[in-house]
Amino acid sequence: MRIVNRFKGKSCYLFSITCITSAFCGFSLAINPSCWADDEKNQSDENRNTLSTIVVTANKIDEDILYVPQSISVFNEIDIENKGLKDAQDIYENQIPNMGQGGFYHNAISFRGLTPSIFTNNNPVVLYVDGVPQTNSHGFNTSLRNVERVEVLRGAQGTLYGKDAIGGVINIISKEPENKWTGNIGAEYGNRNYLYGYFDFDGPLKKDTLYLGLSVKGSKNDGWITNSYPGSVSDANAKEFWGVNSYLLFTPTERLRVKLNVNSFYDHSEGEDGYTVYNGPNTGIDDLSRDTSENMQFDVPGLVEVKSTSQAVNIKYDFDTFFMQSVTTHKIVKDNYRDDSDGLANPANYGAARFRNQELDNWTEELRFASQNTSGFRWVSGIFLELEKKEFTPVGVSFVFPEMGLTSMSAYSELDNTTASVFGQATLPFLNDFELTLGGRYQFIHQELDLNMYMLPAGIGHEDVMPINTLQDEMDWDTFLPKAALTYMLNDSFSFYTSIAKGYMPGGYNYFGSSPDIDRYIFDPAKTWDYEIGMKIKYRNLYLGTNIFYQDMQDVHVSKTLPGGIYLADNAKKAHSYGIEFDWKYKVTKTLSIDGSLGLIHAEYDDFIMDNTNFDGEDMLYTPAYTLNVGVNYEHPSGFFTNVDIRHEGERNLYHTINQRLDKSDGHTLVNLKLGYRFSGWEFYGFANNVTDEEYVVMYMGRMNGAWGTFNEPRLVGVGMSYYF
């Protein structure tokens, strides 16, 4: 397999040794009779040394993970606490096999070869927070405070989750309240003046009837880049985050349940975590250094800012044999971005910048009916409606012209999307040990674009001039998204499955159009067929899931550049990926547990010409050759505990947009450590993230005679405390 050819050097050696050792130990533990014997000692320790049943809502009903015919990664409240996972980004960038950072803007996801395009901004994986969907990468994050579990559904999920779930779904479920007040308060402090604090509580306003929950979180740090340009903010990538999640739950009867969620967050950074280097026409990724970026001088202050508010009303009524559920959501995301276009304090280009001001307003309604069964014959069906308005006010880039001075190309646009779907899925047991799952979704999408492009001298508003170009258009798409799966239950602990599903991501318009030719700015929907074979084992102290996948892709969303550095969305006609994934949890003893995942992948373009360069046969962008996660948690009865988390990623292809070439980034290994002591509800600990101070490029693009890149966070060391009540 060509996968092997991508494992090189020290990364290959480390990876090979780790895989061989992990496989040998895991296999030995799984088959060793002494580990599985039902002797008297094991019986007495069964409760403390046994993994609980893993219940998921992947099919929008509660089911044992063994009965769900698809690959799923699950993180419960204990996993989140032990690993120090603070937000959704910590999961999708560092915990999931074959998933990672996937583009040259924030919170872009790569998974099995799929990435978002520069103009859709929609990730190939949909984030759901208590039923509220988020696809746009700007604002693709949320706090993990007061969360019961996170389910990551891998592979196309369009049948039940709709248009953008071409690669998967991240489903975040908040904790359920009890008939007593409970809470948690905590804080952390670390180098670079890092501060983090939170406060959670929930409980009954009226027992068995009305409950309230509130979670507040805030953090800040001074960053690690200094801008010495006179009059500028010296902490050039200082960060600040605030988030509030709240709910009100009303259960007037045993059958009726009404839940209102109100969430918001504010995420602000003074600029990007990187810089631009100019070393001539052959400048590439190897010319970038995090150490060099720590002391810079540029004249335009940066800004990366997202404000998000959402509301959801979830009404569920239980009938005797089925339930009816309505989920109504509303979300507003405001995104503001500014960056020095040349990354320098160049008097000849003073004030030149790239900028984006975006507001997304999204309403959804899903009405579904489903059986009460968690096993045996079960079904779900429903309708889904979505209204979305996306406004740019504006997006563009500014230049300094000798005749006109500082002038910006600014696009003001409004894009309206309407989506309507009807879906259904049923699981039918047969021959005692088999289950057949069949599902489908019909989906209709309507888009309207109204765009005006302006050439604006400094100090002149767009209201005072005529646009240099106007685009008005509308398009319709419809599609059917089927799914079929077969499950075989060998016994109560072993299951095997095979599945096929169609994935879909809508096309759209470029929102930066300087030409009257509308066809130049349209890109087609991306489509996939996902084939998967898998096995799951859940026996006492071990859970192991493994799957082999093949993904056939058509019209994959990509971006290209035109002369002058103008970016457009485009489609790669054909591509494919295949690989294998493992995820496991093993409770070795009452005090020691091991979890992790492994992903091997080969993702390749089959028919793709970009910027007049043929990339047929090349590895797909932003896709690591492999990913490996290993977590070890030890808890001594006296209260001492430690957790070690290791993430290793292989090399991946990045694109130099100006020189139209692929640059290969090196693999990297991140090690996070937490050590502390618990007693009487208190917890005191020290932590170190990126223990070895590993450095690697995260985002990357070309500049004329240069290259721009951002980096991962340097080592963070600190202390923390929390109290549960």
Predicted local confidence at residue 582, as pLDDT: 98
Tell me the per-residue pLDDT of 400-421, one tens digit each, with 9 for 90 and over. Answer: 988 889 999 999 999 999 999 9
> Which domain does 118 fall in, by range?
2-253+266-294+303-403+421-724
DSSP E strands in 167-252: the ranges are 168-174, 182-190, 194-206, 210-221, 226-227, 239-250
Predicted local confidence at residue 562, as pLDDT: 58
Name the residue among 262, 260, 264 with its Cα closest to residue 248.
260
Look up tokens 């039902």; give the residue.
38
Q: Is residue 246 part of a domain?
A: yes
Q: Is residue 413 part of a domain?
A: no
Predicted local confidence at residue 164, as pLDDT: 87
Instruction: Provide the 3-class DSSP secondary structure of residue 73.
Output: strand
**Where does residue 24 rank: exposed (0-12), middle (13-18), buried (19+ CB within 10 A)?**
exposed
Give CA–CA dist 248/4, Å, rounded. 52
Give CA–CA dist 148/171, Å, rounded. 11
Predicted local confidence at residue 50, as pLDDT: 65
Q: Is residue 409 part of a domain?
A: no
Half-sphere exposure of 311 (CA within 13 A, CB side): 6
**Where does residue 365 rank: exposed (0-12), middle (13-18), buried (19+ CB within 10 A)?**
middle
Pairing mode of beta strands 640-649, 652-656: unpaired
Q: Three-state SS string across 615-661, please?
A: CCCCECECCCCEEEEEEEEEECCCCEEEEEEEEEECCEEEEECCCCE
Name the residue among 62, 56, 61 with its Cα closest to residue 74.
56
Q: Is residue 644 part of a domain?
A: yes
Q: Is residue 123 part of a domain?
A: yes
Predicted local confidence at residue 104, as pLDDT: 62
- CATH of residue 458's domain is 2.40.170.20
Give CA–CA dist 156/161, Å, rounded. 9
Q: Is residue 244 part of a domain?
A: yes
Do 622 and 654 meet the contact criterion of CB atoms below 8 Å apart? Answer: yes
Q: Which residues contact 433 (CB under 8 A, 6 or more apart)?
A: 488, 489, 490
Q: Which amino acid is at 175?
A: K
Predicted local confidence at residue 470, as pLDDT: 92
Each as own residue / partner, the long-range contacts of residues 691-694 (CB below 8 Å, 24 or more positions apart, any chain) are 691/715, 694/668, 694/669, 694/670
Name the residue among 651, 654, 664 with its Cα closest to residue 6.
651
Q: Is residue 599 part of a domain?
A: yes
Predicted local confidence at residue 49, as pLDDT: 56
Predicted local confidence at residue 105, as pLDDT: 64
Q: Is residue 310 part of a domain?
A: yes
Q: What is the pTM of this model?
A: 0.89
Task: Kindly provide the b/e burial profile for residues 236-265, where b requires at least 16 CB atoms within 10 angstroms of the residue's own CB.
Answer: bbbbebbbbbbbebebeeeeebbbebebbb
Regions of the chain where pLDDT drops below 50: 1-48
Q: Which amino acid is at 654?
A: L
How is residue 522 written in tokens? 């349209």
- The torsion defined by the Cα of 97, 103, 108 and 112, in degrees rounded to 10, comes to -30
Give the total number of structural domains in the chain.
1
